[in-house]
Each structure stands twice: as C-alpha cells, then as structure tokens.
Amino acid sequence: DTEVTQTPKHLVMGMTNKKSLKCEQHMGHRAMYWYKQKAKKPPELMFVYSYEKLSINESVPSRFSPECPNSSLLNLHLHALQPEDSALYLCASSQGQGVTYGYTFGSGTRLTVV
C-alpha cells in the first residue's frame, strides 16, 4: 500500500458544526502532516506529527485540533470554523521528519464552511 487515504473527499459544514477529517497511511511512515491549500496557491503547513507526537504547530487557530491516535492515523477536528477556512486540506506522510525523500500526499478534503 503506497497511498495516503483521506476522508471525506468533500465536506460542507456550518459555522457552529463540529466535524473531523481523517487521514490514514499504511506505509510505516512515522511523520504525518496537515496542510491547508487555497485555490491556485501552494500548500501551507499547519501541523507536523513525528512518531505520534505533535512537533510543529504553525500558529494555527484553536478551532483546528489535530490528533494522532496511532502511527497510521491522523485526524483534524474542526469546530466553529469561519468561511475563510474553506479550502483544500491535504494530509501527507514521510518516512520520518528528518528524511528527505519527499512526502506522499493524499487527495485532500475539499472543505466549504457556510
């Protein structure tokens, strides 16, 4: 299995809703990442987990809450989002945070906040 699987593919939520994005990989990768990508822009790093511990939080608002329950799974919990949070949310993994082979990305979740 050489994939990063993200669910759901599309999500529409109201500003008072709570939802979660899920990311899964079975490549034995020990670093996992959440990125936010606006249309026609490069991805922006949000969080990095290394060996299931949060190692980087790029000053992301607390309405985004990451969770890494095990080495294969990464969640992003969403609460009280704003319309400007509408974007493509990409998950990625790599063999380790210090490994330079590049990342494997999922296909993303297209989030719309109404």
Partner 1 sequence: AQTVTQSQPEMSVQEAETVTLSCTYDTSESDYYLFWYKQPPSRQMILVIRQEAYKQQNATENRFSVNFQKAAKSFSLKISDSQLGDAAMYFCALMDSNYQLIWGAGTKLIIKP
Binding characters for partner 1, 17-36, by CB under 8 A (x = yes): --------------------
CB of 4 to partner 1, least distance (A): 9
Region 81-100 residues binding partner 1, contact defined as CB under 8 A? 88, 90, 92, 97-100
Binding characters for partner 1, 49-68, by CB under 8 A (x = yes): -------x------------
Tokens of 106: 């999922």
Nearer to partner 1 by Cβ, of 14 and 96: the residue is 96
Task: Establish if 103 lies at the interface with partner 1 (CB under 8 A).
Answer: yes
